[in-house]
Amino acid sequence: MKTKLLAFALTLMIFAAPFSRADEGMWIPLLIEKYNIKLMQEKGFKLSAEDIYSVNKACMKDAVLSFGGGCTGEVISPDGLLITNHHCGYGQIQKHSSLEHDYLTDGFWAMSREEELSNPGLTVTFLKSMADVTDKVMEGVTKEMTAEERDKKINSNMAEIRKKAAEGNNYSAFVRPFYMGNQYFLFVNESFRDVRLVGAPPSSIGKFGGDTDNWIWPRHTGDFSLFRIYAGKDNKPADYSKDNIPYKPLYHFPISLKGVKEGDFTMVFGYPGSTSEYVPSYHVDMVKNYLNPKMIEIRTKKIDIIDAAMNSDKLIRIQYSAKKAGLSNSWKKWIGENQGLERMKTIDKKREFESKLTEWINADKERIDKYGKILPRYAELYSKLNELNPVSSYTSEVFSGGVEAIGFSRNIKSLADLYNATPDAEKIKTAKANLLASADGFFKNYDAGTDKKLFIALMTMYGENLAPEWQAPEYLKIKSSCKGDFSKIADKLYDKSVFTDQVRFKAFIGSFNKSSVSKLNKDLFYLLILDVNKFLDANVRPELGRVSSEIQKLNRDFMTVQMEYDKARVFYPDANSTLRVSYGSIKGYESRDGVYFKPYTTVKGIMEKDNPAIYDYDVPEKLKTLYRTRDFGPYTQDGEVPVCFIANNHTTGGNSGSPVINADGHLIGVNFDRAWEGVASDIAFNPSQSRNISLDIRYALFIIDKFAGAGYLLNEMTIVK
Ligand code: ARG
Ligand code: ASP
C-alpha cells in the first residue's frame, strides 16, 4: 500500500510540475515564469523571471539586442556602449580597413567619442514586447479549408496583427510561427540606425587561432568588439548625424569580476537563428548523407585556393579574409556535425522513436486518421529532396557564391532588361548609378587572379560531381568547346571580360546602350549565370518548392503528434531568430576516450600556442610583454588572466555575441562559439559533449585596459568586484 501511495505521489509530482528538467533548450522569455524559473533557481539563479523579461519594468531584455540581423550584442553602459563578437563586427571593421589603416591586423580604438566610426546600414534592434497571438492568427481558419485557403487566412490575420502593433509608435512588428506552426507569437521591436565602431582588438587577439581553432575547445580567442548606439535628442532612433547623442538604454548589464568555476549557473540570452530538433530521421539522413558531403567537398576546394592566395599577398588577405571566414565556418561545422550525428547514432535513434510512435498511432483509430500518413509521406518526399536539394545547393556554390565574376555579372540583368521595352531614361540612370555603387564594393575585395583559379576548379567540379542531367546546357556547351579543360579559356576570359576589372566595368556601364546588350549577351560569365538560373527555374526549383512546402505542412502535424505522444515533456521550440534564454552551468567534457577538457583557458595557453611563423598564432609583442611582466591588473583568476570558458548552454548560430550571465544577473562573458564534438546540437543536443564557448569578460577588460590603453572606456561601465 505504501509503495502504491508513493508511486501515486511520484506520478502526481511529475504531472504537476510542467518544468523542464534538462539543460537543453532555447526557451521563450515570456514563458520563463511558467516553465523554467523554478529549475533555474534550483540551479542557483538568484533573480526572478521578471528580471529577465518584463514589460512593466526595466529588465535584462532591454539590454540585449539583435546586432546587424545575424548576431547578438548587449549594452554595457548607460551611454549606449555595446559589446558583441569580433567576428560579428568583422564586416564593419573590414570596411574601415585599407593597407594604410589596417584595423583588421592592427586593431582600432577610438580614444574619444569623436573618433568613433559610423557604419551606414548597420542596425541594432531591441525587443519591446512579445505576446502569444495564436488565437488571433487562427481566427476564421477552419478544418474544411484547403492548404492554400488556410495559408491565405493566416497570412492576412498576421498582417493585421502586425499592422495594429506598429500603429502610432515608431516600432516595427512581426509575427512568427513556433513549434512548426502550432503556435504564433508577436514581436514588437525598436531599431537604431546610428551605431558606431568604438574598439576592436587586432585579429591576432580577436581572431586568434583563426579558422584552425574555430569550433574548437580549448580556445584562446579574444572574440569581441565594441560599438556605441546613438539616438536623436529625444533618445529615439535616428539616421546618422553628428548631432546625435549616445543612446540612454533602459537597462545595461553590470559586469562581474568575480569569475567562474565548474558547476556555476550560467544563462545565455540572445538570438539563436535556426535549429531542427524535431525533424524525422529522413531529414537527418538527407543532411548527413546527401547534403553535407557534397558541400564539404566543394568548400574544401574553394578554401584551399583562397587560403593559398591570402598567404601569398597582404592585400588579398584583407580582401578575402571575411569571405574566407564565412566559407570556412560552415564547412567546418558540417564536418563536425556529421561526426557528431554519427557518434550519437541520431538517425538510428530517430528511426527507433518513429517505429514506437507508429505503434502508438496504430493503436487508435482516430490517431491513425490524423497522423497515420505522416511518416510514409515523409519517406516519399525526402527521396525526392535527397536529389534536388544537393543539386540546388551545389549549383549555387559554383555559380552564385563561387566564381565571383559569374555571381557579380547577374547584377547587370536589371539594367539590360530596361532596354527591352520602351527605355525609360530615368530608370536607366538609377540602375547605372546602383551598379556603379555596387561595383565599388565588389572590386574593393576582388582579385581576378584568385577568381580565375576558382573558375577553373569549380567549373571542373560542377562537371564531375553533378549528374549530367543536372548540368545547365550552356555549361555543357562551353565544357565541350574547351574539351573539359577550363584553364584553356580562363586567361582570355579574365583578360577581356568587363566583370573582372573595375575600369572596364565602369567604362562599360558609363556608355551602356542598346548595342551593349548584345555585347553582354556574348559574355560567357553572364551567359552562364542566366542559363543556370533558367535551367534551375525549369527543372529544379518548382519541384523543390512543392516538396518543401508539403514537408513544412507535415512538420506541423509531426510536431503535434510528438507533443501528444509525450504529454509530460515540456518542449522548447526550434530556434527561429527570436530572443531566447538558455541556461545550464560551467562544465568541462570528455572529448574522446581518456581526454577530459577543463572548462576554462588562460593567457598562458596563448603563449603556448605562440608561433610567429603562422599568421593566426602570431601573438602581439605587447601581449607577450604584459605576460612576461605579469602586468595583469585586477583581471586574474588563480594568478592567470582567464580567456575563455565553456558551459552546457544550448546555443546556435546567431547566439554569437550573446551575454553570458551569472546567478546574480551580472555579465561574465560573451558567447561566441561551440565545441567541435557537440556542434550537431542544431539537430541533436548531446548533454555530455554539447558546449557553448564564451569569452571571459575579464579578458575583454584586460585587453581594453592593459593592451589597448583604452581604459577610459571602463569608467562608464558598472563593474562589480
Ligand atoms: N564558429 C563561430 C560561429 O559560428 C565563429 C565564427 C567566426 N570565426 C571564424 N574563424 N571564422 O559563428
Ligand atoms: N559562432 C556562432 C555565431 O556566430 C555561434 C554558434 O554557432 O555557436 O552565432
Q: What pLDDT sits at residue 92?
A: 94
Residue nearest (by alpha carbon) to ligand 1 atom 11: 325
Atom of ligand 1 nearest to the CA of 211: 10
Per-residue pLDDT averaged across 410-435, rounded? 91
Smallest CA-to-CA distance from 670 within 141, 215, 74 is with 74
290 and 187 housed in the same domain:
no
Q: Which of 274, 317, 656, 658 to mutate to test the pocket of ligand 1 (most atoms within 8 A of CB)?
A: 656
Residue nearest to atom 2 of ligand 2 (CA): 653
Of 86, 87, 650, 666, the catalytic one is: 87
> Each residue of 353-368: pLDDT tens digit?
999 999 999 999 999 9
Assess whether the previous peptide bond of 218 is cis (omega < 30° from 0). Answer: yes
Q: Is 194 a catalytic residue?
A: no
pLDDT of residue 19: 72
Which of 154, 176, 192 is a domain's end point? Answer: 192
For residue 497, being part of any structural domain is answered with yes
Ligand 1 mean position, distance from CA 326 (Å): 8
286 and 180 share a domain? no
Domain membership flag for residue 438: yes
Residue 17 pLDDT: 55
Task: Name the band, by pLDDT with cuts 50, 70 and 90, for residue 12.
Answer: very low
**Other beta carbons within 10 Å of 668:** 29
Beta strands in 114-224 (DSSP E): 117-118, 124-132, 172-178, 183-192, 194-200
295 with 161, same domain?
no
Q: Residue 117 forms beta bridges with which residues?
A: 197
Residue 4 pLDDT grade (very low, low, confident, very high; cuts 50, 70, 90) = low
* Model confidence band, residue 415 (pLDDT cutoffs 50, 70, 90): very high
CA 653–ligand 2 middle distance (angstroms): 4
Residue 700 falls within a domain, yes or no?
Answer: no
| 87 catalytic residue (yes or no) | yes
CA of 673 to the centre of ligand 1 (A): 7
pLDDT digits (tens, 9 = 90+) for 498-515: 999 999 999 999 999 999
- Side chain identity at residue 29, one-letter code: P
Whether residues 372 and 512 fall in one domain: yes
Report the number of distinct structural domains present in the chain.
2
Q: Please, what's the largest Cα pairwise distance for the chain?
A: 95
Query: Which of 656, 658, 690, 694 is labelled catalytic?
Result: 656
Q: Are residues 512 and 405 in the same domain?
A: yes
Residue 478 and residue 374 share a domain: yes
Q: What pLDDT band is residue 322 in, cutting at 50, 70 and 90?
A: confident
The catalytic residue among 62, 211, 223, 285 is 223
Q: Which atom of ligand 1 is nearest to the CA of 326?
A: 11
Cell of 317: 588577405
DSSP state of 143: T
Residue 666 falls in the annotated catalytic set: no
Confidence of residue 321 (pLDDT cuts 50, 70, 90): confident
Per-residue pLDDT tens for 476-495? 999 999 999 999 999 999 99
Does residue 138 lie in a domain region?
yes
- What kind and span of H or E run contains 147? helix 147-165
Distance (Å, rounded) from C-alpha 308 to C-alpha 300?
12
Ligand 2 site-directed mutation target among 224, 655, 658, 683, most atoms within 8 Å of CB: 655
- The torsion of the CA quartet 403, 408, 411, 412, rounded to 10 degrees, works out to -100
Q: Which of 226, 271, 267 is nearest to 127 (CA)?
A: 271
Q: How many CB atoms lie within 10 A of CB 487?
A: 14
In a domain, residue 353? The reply is yes
> pLDDT tens across 593-648, in order?
999 999 999 999 999 999 999 989 999 999 999 999 999 999 999 999 999 999 99
What is the SS3 assignment for 229?
strand
Would 15 be classed as within a structural domain?
A: no
Please tell me whether residue 659 adopts helix, strand or coil conformation. Answer: strand
The CA 27 to ligand 1 mean position distance, Å, reads 23
pTM of the predicted model, to two decimals? Answer: 0.93
Residue 197 to residues 87, 228, 238, Cα–Cα distance (Å): 13, 7, 17
SS3 703: helix
Please identify, by atom number, the ligand 1 atom nearest to the C-alpha of residue 209: 10
Q: Looking at the CA of 217, name the nearest ligand.
A: 1
Answer whether 336's CB lies under 8 Å from 683's CB.
no
Residues 395 and 493 in one domain: yes
For residue 618, being part of any structural domain is answered with no
Phi then psi for residue 291, to 5 deg, are: -80, -60
Looking at 150, 171, 192, which one is the last position of a domain? Answer: 192
Question: What is the rounded CA–CA span in Å between residue 266 and residue 648?
Answer: 9
> What is the pLDDT confidence band of residue 15, given thresholds at 50, 70 and 90?
very low
CA-329 nearest atom, ligand 2: 1
Q: Is residue 456 part of a domain?
A: yes
- Backbone angle region of 643, left / alpha / beta, with phi > 0 → left and psi within -120 to 50 → alpha: alpha
| Ligand 2: nearest atom to the Cα of 72 | 9
Cell digits for 299?
568548400
What share of the chain has pLDDT > 90, as a percent? Answer: 93
- DSSP, residue by residue, 310-323: HHH-HHHHHHHHHH
Atom 1 in ligand 2: residue holding the nearest Cα: 673
Mean pLDDT of 151-168: 96
CA-nearest of 8, 39, 6, 14 to 567 is 14
Chain position carrying cell 566564381: 403
448's enclosing H/E stretch is helix 448-465
Segment 628-633 long-range contacts (CB within 8 Å, at least 24 positions apart): 631/706, 632/702, 632/706, 633/702, 633/705, 633/706
Q: What is the structure's pLDDT at 21?
A: 67
Same domain, 432 and 529: yes
In this prediction, residue 18 carries a pLDDT of 63
Residue 318 has pLDDT above 90, yes or no: no
Q: Please state, rounded to an integer, the average pLDDT across all residues of the chain.
A: 95
Structural domain including 187 reads 128-192
Confidence grade of residue 420 (pLDDT, cut at 50, 70, 90) = confident
Across 573-588, b (16+ Cβ under 10 Å) vs e yields bbbbbbbbbbbbbbbb
- Cβ neighbours of residue 299 closer than 8 Å, sequence gap 6 or more: 327, 328, 330, 331, 334, 397
Angle CA 200–203–206, to nearest 5: 60
Centre of ligand 2 to C-alpha 201, Å, is 19
Neighbouring C-alpha atoms within 13 Å toward the C-beta of 176: 17
Q: Provide the pairing of β-strand 124-132 with 225-231.
A: unpaired
Q: Is the CB of 654 under 6 A from ligand 2?
A: yes
Q: Half-sphere exposure of 610 toward its Cβ, with a 13 Å CA cutoff?
A: 13
- pLDDT value of residue 7: 53
| pLDDT value at residue 638 | 94
Q: Which of 192, 218, 243 is the last residue of a domain?
A: 192
Instruction: Give the Cα separation of 455 and 442 in Å (integer).
Output: 17
